[in-house]
Structure formats: C-alpha cells, structure tokens
Chain A
Amino acid sequence: MKKLRVVHYINQFYAGIGGEEKADYPPEIREGLIGPGQALQAAFKEEAEIVATVICGDSYYNENMEESKSQILEMIRPYQPDIFVAGPAFNAGRYGVACGDITSHVQNELHIPGVTGMYVENPGVDLYKKEVYIIETKNSAADMRKAAPKMAKLVIKLGHHQEVGSPEEEHYIKRGLRKNYFADKRGSERAVDMLLAKLRKEKFDTEYPMPSFDRVSPSPAIKDLSQSKIAIVTSGGIVPKGNPDHIESSSASKYGTYDISQFDDLTDQDHETAHGGYDPVFANEDSDRVIPVDVLKEMEKEGMIGSLHPYFYTTTGNGTAVANAKAFATEIAIDLKNHGVDAVILTST
C-alpha cells in the first residue's frame, strides 16, 4: 500500500509559540511535523507521513471561524493530503472546538477524511461528534503516548477507505448513529438474560439508551379569531389525487404544499391520502376528514375566522424519521411566517 500523506493541525501552545498570550496567533503552515506530530509519526511507522503542519492560535480560530477556516483550507489544498488529523485537544475547550470545526470543513469541502482526539467532556465533543471521528483521550497531554496509536490506526484505515469498526473497537466517541448487526443470541433470549441481570442487581447493557425529548411549549392563545389567518398542516398524508410528488407511504423524505383556494369541499375526485399507516378508505372517500377544508371555508365565509391560508402542507407521519420531520417543519414554519399566518391547525392520523 502507498504511504499516506497526512496534514496535521495543532494550536500555538503545542507548536511551542506560546501560551494564552499567543492565542491570537493567525494561521500558518509549515513543512513536516512539529511537536505532538512526533508521537503520531512514530505510531504511523512507514505507513503514513506528516507532510505539513497547520498552526493556529485558539482565540484566533474561535473569534474568526469563517476566515480561519477559509485560510486554512487554502493552505492545506496544495499538499494534497490523503487524510487530515487535528490535535488531540484533550480537555482544552477552544482547541477542541477548533479541531472539530476544521476537521468537519476539511471533510465537507476538501473531501478528505479526518480524525481528531478529545477528552469526553471537551465542549468540542458534543458539537462535532456526529460529523467527525473523535478518538477518546484522557483530560491531559500525559495521555498522548496512548492516544497516538489509536489515532494512527484510524487514520490509516480512513486513509485507505477501509471499513471503520465500532466505537469500542476503534476507541472513537459514539457518533449517535444506529447501525444494525446480527447478535449471537435472538432478541427474546437477550431479553431474558437482561431481566435476570436486572433482578439480580447485576450490571447489564441496555441496547437502546433512552433519548431526551424536545418538549415544545404552546404559543399563547389567539385573541381574535375573526382577524386571524389560519393554515392547515398535516401528517395524515392528504395529497391531490394521484399523489403528484410521490410522497412516500412511510418514512417520508419530503412534504408537499398544495393550493386549496379553489376548493370549498374535498372529494374523492380531487384528493386522497398517501399515508400507509392506516386504512385509507375513509380518508379517500372524503379528505376533509383529515384536513377540515370544508368547515374552515364555511367559517371563513361566516367571518368566524379571518381567512384560510390558500395552501396546505402535508406529509406522511408514518415511520418518518424525526430528523426529516424537523427539517420539514423548519421550512414550513418559515413559509407560514412569510405569508403572515397567525395560527395553524395540525392534524395527525
């Protein structure tokens, strides 16, 4: 296998330039390795070579992120590295943020994989662990001797585009990604074993640690409905007949925005549901059962509500990933605001 070209990122302190008083040191790049690069180079053996080292002051990076990132990317580009390494930052907060941030930009913009290293409580961990492989280190530089071989092993794997193992095997901090695998025992047997351990007060590992949930507090009540513009948003999958945008029956990857200004009543001639999570017969017969367009149009005529927003927003909630739902909602909320909508009726099924 060819020798991998590595570019290494470190801060002013590890470059020997100075401590806090030099933290505003602007980015520069030097040929070859400096400081902690020696331990990494030793761990790479003949498989990889640090061809250049980027140095940047922690304050400088954190206070000028956009600018620092652009300058550093341009410095790295001519070296054509196979892989990028930052830190390790151990428990240094601003250094950790800089390592995580620059590694994510190198990955996204130069399409070069990267590795960094931090102590688990470094603030850079929560910010970047989803995008960047962060080798878990102890909280001080005394751990460099142990951290370097772990980082080096992952650097070589990523540099050769080899498959990366589990967090336990590779020592990186969990990235929050759920991946399937075949366990040795079937699920029911694992459940019985887990219950026995729990009953005996022995240690056991849950297979899914519970997430913490977002709780959204409702907005204050509307004071005057007759002056309000109301919109409909649904996860019940109502679409114009034929489902023109092919919204999926489950695990939706998109939502639709459709004009209802020309309808006083939805019928089986013009609307239906795309939702795969319930018997669609009643919704297909009369889609007003899921989004009450008929009643809202009457209320609009009677003056009970100010107006009905001429578009409704729709997707299928069935098995749809929370991340997708959040992304849809963010876009829909902006559109609602731009159209001066005061209140929304959310319907689910």
Chain B
Amino acid sequence: MKLELRNIMINDIVFGECSKIQNNQLMINPKDLESIVLEDEHIAEVKFDIAKPGESTRITPVKDVLEPRFKIDSESQVFPGVASKVKTVGEGKTNVLKGMALVTSGRIVGFQEGIIDMSGPGAEYTPFSKTINLVMSAYCHEGVKPHEHEKAVRLAGIKVAKFLGELSIDVEPNEIQVFETLPLLQGIQKYPDLPKVAYVQMLQSQGLLHDTYVYGVDAKTIVPTLLYPTELMDGAIISGNCVSACDKNTTYHHQNNCVVHDLYEKHGKEINFVGVVITNENVYLADKERSSDWTAKLVEYLGVDGVIISQEGFGNPDTDLIMNCKKIEEKGIDTVIITDEYAGRDGASQSLADADPKANAVVTGGNANEVIKLPPMDKVIGHLEYVDKIAGGFNGSLEENGWITVELQAIIGATNELGFNHLSAKEY
C-alpha cells in the first residue's frame, strides 16, 4: 500500500465572505461551517474562533484536535465509516492542511478535557500551541446526556475537518511525502537482512466516554487486528474519548502517529517496518487476557524481531500494557514500551499501576502529576470555570488573580504516550 501525502502549508486563517484556500491562507465563512454542525439535532449553537501561536490565548475545555485532510484520487475518503463510506483507506493521494488544526470545545462533557495555551509556560507542553487553530465551540440543547453530547461534538468535528480538507481539492501542495508498505512476504523478501519490526498500538477503550473508533467500529468490540501504517494517516482511527487531557491521543495524533513516522524514517535502512497491530484497553479481565493473547499471537505470526508498544491513558490500561509487553517478550520478541508516569506531585511514588521485570526498555512521556502555574491570558476561548474540576485540576486551581495551578495532566497532549513530545522524566 502506497500513500502520497500532499502537504499544503497553511500560514494564516481568516474569516471572510467565502471558504477557500489561496496563497497558503485559509479563508472561512463561518456560516458554511455552522450549517454543517447544526445538522445535528442535539447541537443548539456553534461559534468559531481563531487562535495563533504566540498569542495570549487560552482554549479550554478542549475535547479533540483534528487535522483537515482530503483524498483527491480515490473512491475511498478520509474518516471511513464515520464521515465517509466504509472503504479501505491508506492508498492514493491525500491532501493535508499542514500547520493548522481544528480544535473542538464547548461546555465540559466529563472531567477530562484539557487546556491549550498559545503562549507562556503551558505552551511548551502542548503541540497545539504551535499550530494555527480554528476553534469550534459547540453547545448542546438542555437535557442532552453526556454521551450524546460527546458523540454530537465528535461527529461535528469530523465533518468540519473533512469540509476544510475538501477546500484543498485543487490546491498544489508545497511538499510531497510518500509512504509505502508492501504485503508482508514481499516486504520480507525485499529486505532479507534487516530486523523486522511491528508497531503495537493500544487504543483507549475503557468505555463510558473513554472510546476510540476504527473505521467507525467501537474499539471495545474489536479483537486485535492488522493495519497498514498508511491507513492511520487517512483517519482510519478517531478519538472519541474524554480521558485525561495529557495522555489521550486526539484524532490529530492518530493522523500524525509519530511512531509510524519514525519507524518509516528507518524503514529499508536499519529496519524493516512491516505493519501495525491495533489492540484495545478494555476493563474486563477476560477482555484483557484475550486481547493481549491475540496481540502476542499476531506479532509472532508476523515473524518480527521487535515491536514498539504505545499506550493510551493510565492506571487501568497499565495492566494491558504490561500484559502485552510480557506476553510478547515471552515469545522471544524484543519490546520497547511507551508510557507516562503518575509519580505524585513530588515525584516520589511508583509511576505505574503495574510492572514486570520484562519491561526493561521503557520510554516515558513524563510525570503527569508535576504541577505547573499558568499565568492569566488576555483572551479565553471557552470556559475557565471548569478548571477546578478537570482531571489535573483541584479546588482552588483557578485563583482570583487569574493564575491557574494544575498538574500537567490538564494540558492537552502534555505527556503523550505515542512519544509525540520531547518531555521525559528521570530519577533525581
């Protein structure tokens, strides 16, 4: 499977009379987007704002972040099974609006929606302080239940992202990147001397607002399976969860999965990257046993020498992470796991809820309990009053002078477990 990503640099976003992309500028007529969002009967009102890197702007509570993409030469389309027909993606040509992101916000659904600061100390911890953000704040009617609220905003975000991507249909890209993965046996023949490596991606599926969708299917209900890495780039996996902001994978993270990109970087040179195994993080023990057994079985069947395993969330999924690691190591296959830590505000506690000596190669996204002070911002998109309530916040987080004291947990993507950031932790 071969995919051409055609990056169109977006250097500016403005509101205007019509919606178009010209000279690397995205112009939006908010009315075009409103009509898409208000198609959903649960949503009463929607507003759009623009937030740029370096501005004194805070966005909260943030639900999801998406990158507008659109496929220009195939019958399949981005976000298959959700915003487009169910048709296998990952092949052909896909336009990408690079340098921008769609951020979805509004009132809080659960406890676990986060903060994006466009400048100041908080900005260093989130990748979305570096993108020009179009912020969609969607408000549901009174009486809409939390899970209906989550779903309505999730689908609205997906549809708006697709609409924005489609604006690029006739735009020439600034840069083209090509990614190719051959069918397994051909790939192995092509690089007989390179170590074979697979990527095991664990998807948040604890349920009750902790969900992920694969081609529209709730990941709770899948058994571990195989994907070509390029399928992720076309939105095969989308986020539907309100897990702690710091280590949930937004849809943007799935589209730009950095493990996939960094494995491709060494593919054909130092390793042979054969594909992706996706698995879930269900809460029942029988599901955990089945999924970790199957994951180990699939990587054994692929005949790989090593795997990278990435996690999403913390606590309960730590058990899935360790089960996957242990069972794969027991098959004689080398593993590296990517996780983050909850070592307490002082850093003195155990970082994970489960552990095993076989997990001897760990990459950490940092201690999510570490506390940060965020100065007041001139502009707030959204609602600051939830800061005391979100995961990582505490009573008194929001001070009268506008300062916010929170754990990194409250910042979108701060301790990402795909390894999206430079943040790490070490022992002092």
B335 vs chain A, min Cβ distance (A) = 8
Most buried by A among B112, B259, B427: B427
A321 touching B342, Cβ below 8 Å: yes
Please list the 5 inter-chain residue pairs (A to B) with the smallest Cβ-Cβ separation, ordered nearest first.
A187-B419, A276-B111, A321-B344, A279-B208, A188-B419
- Residues of chain B with a CB closer than 8 A to A142's CB: none
Residue A206 CB within 8 A of the other chain: yes
A323 touching B359, Cβ below 8 Å: no
A214 vs chain B, min Cβ distance (A) = 9
Residues 339-366 of B, flagged 1 when their CB comes within 8 A of A and 0 if not, give 1011111111111101111011111111
Q: What separation, in Å, do the CA atoms of A276 and B245 have in the docked complex? A: 12
* Main DSSP-derived SS at the A contact region: loop
Residue B110 CB within 8 A of the other chain: yes
Residues 192-214 of A, flagged 1 when their CB comes within 8 A of B and 0 if not, give 10111011000010111111110
A188 touching B338, Cβ below 8 Å: yes
Known contacts A181-B426, A198-B306; is A250 also within 8 Å of B392 by CB? yes
Which of A21-29, A65-73, A172-180, A297-305 lies on the face that meets chain B? Answer: A172-180
Q: Using a Cβ–Cβ cut-off of 8 Å, how many residues does chain B contribute to the interface with A? A: 86
Which of B5-13, B96-104, B292-300, B367-375 lies on the face that meets chain A? Answer: B367-375
Interface positions of B from 216 to 263, Cβ below 8 Å from A: 244, 258-259, 261-263
Known contacts A191-B336, A210-B357, A213-B355; is A185 also within 8 Å of B364 by CB? no
Partner of A207, one of B263, B265, B424: B424
Q: Which residues of A are interface residues toward B (Cβ below 8 A)?
A: 130, 166-167, 174-192, 194-196, 198-199, 204, 206-213, 246, 248-251, 253, 275-282, 317-319, 321-324
Most buried by B among A175, A181, A195: A195
CB-based A-B contact count at 8 angstroms? 246
A184 touching B422, Cβ below 8 Å: yes
Q: What separation, in Å, do the CA atoms of A198 and B424 have in the docked complex? A: 20
Most buried by B among A187, A250, A275, A281: A187
Partner of B424, one of A187, A195, A319: A187
B424 touching A182, Cβ below 8 Å: yes
- Residues of chain A with a CB closer than 8 A to B207's CB: 279
Residue of A nearest to B369 (CB): A251
A-B contact pairs, 10 of them (CB 8 A): A174-B427, A175-B428, A183-B423, A191-B338, A191-B363, A198-B306, A199-B195, A199-B197, A211-B352, A251-B407
Q: What separation, in Å, do the CA atoms of A349 and B394 have in the docked complex? A: 20
- Residues of chain A with a CB closer than 8 A to B34's CB: none
Residue of B nearest to A206 (CB): B362
Known contacts A177-B346, A187-B416, A251-B409; is A182 also within 8 Å of B422 by CB? yes
Additional 9 contacts, C-beta under 8 A, given A175-B428, A187-B364, A208-B341 = A181-B425, A187-B258, A187-B422, A191-B338, A195-B361, A196-B270, A207-B364, A246-B395, A251-B344
B425 touching A196, Cβ below 8 Å: no
Residue of A nearest to B416 (CB): A187
Partner of B305, one of A190, A199, A204: A199
B343 touching A186, Cβ below 8 Å: no
B419 vs chain A, min Cβ distance (A) = 2
Partner of A206, one of B209, B351, B361: B361
